[in-house]
Amino acid sequence: MEFCPTCANLLLVEHASSGRSLRFFCPTCPYIYRIERKISKKLALKQKEVDDVLGGEDAWKNVDRTEATCPQCTYNQAYFMQIQIRSADEPMSTFYKCCNNACNFRWREG
């Protein structure tokens, strides 16, 4: 982004009258600046930290077991918890975690 040195408005880009080159122009005053070289700036974006909405590993400490087949390792027991993640008129969602310590796969139903 470039700003007009005269009136401090944001400069816009347009093709110059020759049609091949570009130039900045101010929409409110007669300022024009011819672009003679490529202007670029790389900026690395920092990703936002994501909160674990299920409460992280602490949420799985005091949950019950049930007979459920793990879709990844086919172990026949899993920890489960039910959470209301939609509106009150929708059914609860059931989250599972495989009891096999080598797998610990998580999945959801509902």
Q: Do 1 and 8 contact (CB within 8 A), yes or no?
A: no
Amino acid identity, residue 80? F
Query: 70 and 31 share a domain?
Result: no
Nearest partner of 96 among 26, 67, 85, judged by Cα: 67
17 belongs to a structural domain: yes
1 inside domain? yes
CATH, residue 7: 2.20.25
Q: Tell me: the pLDDT tens digits for 70-94?
A: 999 989 999 998 888 778 888 888 8
Write the single-letter amino acid at 22. L
Which parts are annotated binding residues? 4, 7, 26, 29, 70, 73, 98, 103
Single out the residue of 6, 1, 2 nearest to residue 30, CA to CA. Answer: 6
Question: CA-based angle 81:83:85, to the nearest 5?
Answer: 150
For residue 82, give its domain range: 57-109
pTM > 0.85: yes or no: no
Positions at the binding site for Zn(2+)? 4, 7, 26, 29, 70, 73, 98, 103
- Tell me, what CATH number does 81's domain have? 2.20.25.10
